[in-house]
Chain A
Amino acid sequence: MIRYLLLRFWQSIVLLFIVSLIGFMVLNLAPGGPLSQYTLTPGMTKEALDRIAEQMGLNRPLPIQYLDWLWNMVQGDWGNSYRDGRPVLEVINRHLFATLLLMGSSTLISVVIGTWIGIRSALRAGTVFDYATTVAAMVALSIPTFWFGLIAIYTFSLWLGWLPAGNMYTVGNGSLGDYAIHLIMPSMVLALVNVAVWSRYMRSATLDVMSQDFVRTAKAKGLAPRRVLMKHIVGNALVPMITLAGLQLPTLLGGALVTETVFTWPGMGRLFLDGLGYNDYPVVMGLLMFSAILVLVGNLAADLLVALVDPRIRLD
C-alpha cells in the first residue's frame, strides 16, 4: 500500500514537471514574452526595455530562466497581476470558492442523476428506456455547454421568469436561499455533459458487475434482490466511477469556465477570461498552471480512494 502511494505520488511529481514545461513554453509564446506589459507604456524606448529585460533576467539562457521561474512557483511566488498588482495566488484564491461551489453542486447533481439512469438502463438493457437514454446521452454530449446555458436563460429567466439570469447572489441580499436560487441554473447546465458521461459509464460498470460470479452466488444463497442490487452490484459498480470522476475533472473545469461566462458567475473561469481581455498574463498563466495542478491532485486523490476501497487495485 505504502509502495503504491509512493509510486503514484512520484508519477504525479513527474507529470507536474512536464506540465510546468508546457506552461513555460506557452508563456514564452506571449507577444513580447513576459515583457509585453512594458511595451505598451508610453515613452518606452528600446534601451529601457533592454534594461528591464536585464533586471528581470530575461537575457539569460532559457533553461536558466525556466529553473528560476519554477523555483519561484514552488515557493508560492506566482508573480503579480498586471491589473491590480496583487499576488496571483491571492487573486486566484478570491475566485476559488465560487468555482468550487459551482463544480461541487454540479457534480452532486450529475452523480445522483447519472447513477440512477446508469443502473436503470443496465437493469433494463435493450428496452426503450435504455435506448432512449443512450441516444439522449450522445445528443447531450454534442450540445455546446454555453448554448445550452443561453437556451436555459431564455426559457427560465426571460420567458418563465422563474430563475435569475446570472450572478451568484442579489446585491444586498446574499442569504443562503438567495445563493441557492442563483446556483440552480448554472449547476444544472454544467451537469448536462457529466450526467451523460456518468450514466454511460455507470451502465457498463453495472453490466460488468452483474455478470460476476459473486453476484450469482449472492442470488443463489437467497438474498433479497434489492439487497443484491444495492450492496453487491451498485457498491462494486461505483468503484470505477471514482476514477472516472478524476478523469472528468479537466472537462468539468473547462465547462465551468464557459458556464461562468454565460451566467456571469464570479469564479476562476471569469477571472481567466478577464485576464485574457486585459492581457494580464501572470493571472492567465497562473490559472493555467493552477487548473492543471488541481486536475493532477484530483486524479491522485481518486486513485488513492480507489486503492483504499478496492484491495485488488493496490499494485498495478
Chain B
Amino acid sequence: MTAAALSAPRPRWWRSRTVRRFTRNKLAMVGVILILGLTLACFVGPYLLPFDELFIDLRARFAPPGTGAHIFGTDPLGRDIAARLFQAGQISLLVGFFAMLMSTVVGTVVGVVAGYTGGWLGAALMRVVDAFLSFPSIFLLLALAAFVNPSPIMITIIIAVTSWMEVARIVEAEVRSLRDRDFVMAARMLGLSKTQIMFRELLPNVIGPIIVAATLTVARAILLEAYISFLGYGIQPPLPSWGNMLNGAQQYLDKAPWLAIVPGVAITMAVAGFNFIGDGLRDALDARSDQR
C-alpha cells in the first residue's frame, strides 16, 4: 500500500452513494419532511398554542375548525383539538419509536442466533417466529392489552411483543447466507467466541436490512397503537393518543366530522412518512439498484 493511499481522506459518509441515492428519492424526501414536520409540531406546537390540551370550555363545544384560535376546532368537551392532537402525537410517536427499538433488538438477537447457530435451536426459534406470525396481530394485541395494565409503557411492550418477527426473519435469512463466508471462517480461526462472531463480525454486515425493517416497524407500531386505542384497549384517556382521539369520534360523525378527520390524517401522515423513508432506504441500500 502506498503512502498516498494511506493519507487519502476518509470518504465522508454524507457523500456516499447510498446517501446520494436516498436524497435523490423524491418520495423518501417527502417522508423525511412529513416526519420532521410532525415531530416538530408535536413537540414544539404545544408551546405555541394559546390552549392547554386539558382545558375544558363547555361554552365552546363542537366548534368547527377555524373558530377563533381553534385551528382544528374543539371536541365534545370544548377542548382544543390542535392542542390535544400535538400532545397525542408525542405519545403516539414515542410509543411507535420505543416499540420499534424493543422489537428490533429482540428480532435481531433471535435472528442472529437462529441464523448463525442453525441446527435444532435455529429451527426451534424460527418455528416460534412462524407461530407468532400465525396469530392476526390485532387479536393477539387486544387479548394481551385486556390482560395487562394499559399504561403507555405496557402498551409499548405488548406492541413490541407482536412486532419483532419480521426483523427476526430478515436477519435470520441474511445471517444464514453469510455464515460460511471467508471472513467468518477467519474469525473462527482467530479463536473468537461465538458471541463475538455473531455480534461483532456478522451483525455489522446485516445492519442495512435491519435499518429498513426498523423504519417500517415504526410505521406498523404507530398503526397498531391507533387500532387498539381506537377500540378502547390502548392508551387510556385523559392521556390523549391519536388512536383514542378517534375512539369517540364515530358517534359524532354527523355533527362534528372534524373529530374523526383530523387525528386520522395525522396518523396517515406519520405512517406514510415512515413507510416512504423505509422504502427509500431499501432502494438506497440495495446494491442492485446501482445499475440504474
* Chain A residues within CB distance 8 Å of chain B: 14-15, 18-19, 21-22, 26, 29-31, 135, 138-139, 141-147, 150-151, 153-154, 158, 250-251, 253-254, 257-258, 261-262, 272-273, 276, 279, 284-285, 287-288, 291-292, 295-296, 299
User: B268 near A291 (CB under 8 angstroms)?
Assistant: no
Binds A, one of B11-19, B95-103, B176-184, B222-230: B222-230
Given contacts A26-B143, A285-B143, contact A258 B227 (CB under 8 A): yes
Taken together as a complex, chains A and B put the C-alpha atoms of A141 and B250 apart, in Å, by: 22
Task: Confirm or deny: B135 has a beta carbon within 8 angstroms of a beta carbon on chain A.
Answer: yes
Residue B268 contacts which of A139, A253, A254 (CB distance < 8 angstroms)?
Answer: A139
User: A135 near B27 (CB under 8 angstroms)?
Assistant: yes
Sorting the interface of chain B by its residue count into under 10, 10 to 19, 20 to 34 or 35 or more gives 35 or more
User: A14 near B127 (CB under 8 angstroms)?
Assistant: yes
User: A154 near B268 (CB under 8 angstroms)?
Assistant: no
Which B residues touch A141, using CB under 8 A?
271, 275
What is the CB-to-nearest-CB distance from B190 to chain A, in angstroms, rounded to a whole number? 36
Provide the B129-151 mask, 1 if CB < 8 A to any CB of A, else 0. 01111111111101110111000
User: A147 near B264 (CB under 8 angstroms)?
Assistant: yes
Residue of A nearest to B146 (CB): A276
Additional A-B contact list (12), CB under 8 Å, known A147-B268, A250-B136 = A18-B128, A19-B131, A22-B132, A143-B268, A144-B230, A144-B264, A150-B250, A150-B260, A150-B264, A151-B264, A154-B253, A292-B135
Which B residues touch A18, using CB under 8 A?
127-128, 130-131
Taken together as a complex, chains A and B put the C-alpha atoms of A150 and B267 apart, in Å, by: 14
Residue A257 contacts which of B128, B138, B219 (CB distance < 8 angstroms)?
Answer: B138
Given contacts A158-B253, A253-B136, A254-B137, contact A284 B146 (CB under 8 A): yes
Residue B135 contacts which of A19, A135, A258 (CB distance < 8 angstroms)?
Answer: A19
Which B residues touch A143, using CB under 8 A?
264, 268, 271
Given contacts A144-B268, A146-B227, contact A26 B249 (CB under 8 A): no
User: A19 near B134 (CB under 8 angstroms)?
Assistant: yes
What is the CB-to-nearest-CB distance from B174 to chain A, in angstroms, rounded to a whole number? 20
User: B223 near A138 (CB under 8 angstroms)?
Assistant: no
What is the CB-to-nearest-CB distance from B264 to chain A, in angstroms, rounded to a whole number? 4
Residue A150 contacts which of B136, B142, B249, B272 (CB distance < 8 angstroms)?
Answer: B249
Which A residues touch B140, using CB under 8 A?
26, 288
User: A15 near B146 (CB under 8 angstroms)?
Assistant: no
User: A287 near B231 (CB under 8 angstroms)?
Assistant: no
Provide the B47-68 mask, 1 if CB < 8 A to any CB of A, else 0. 0000000000000000000000
Complex A-B, nearest 8 residue pairs according to Cβ-Cβ distance, in ascending order: A254-B136, A142-B272, A18-B131, A147-B264, A254-B138, A142-B271, A253-B136, A250-B136
Task: Confirm or deny: B246 has a beta carbon within 8 angstroms of a beta carbon on chain A.
Answer: yes
Provide the B235-266 mask, 1 if CB < 8 A to any CB of A, else 0. 00000000000100110011001001100100
Which A residues touch B131, using CB under 8 A?
15, 18-19, 21-22, 292
Residue of A nearest to B269 (CB): A142
Residue of B nearest to A134 (CB): B27
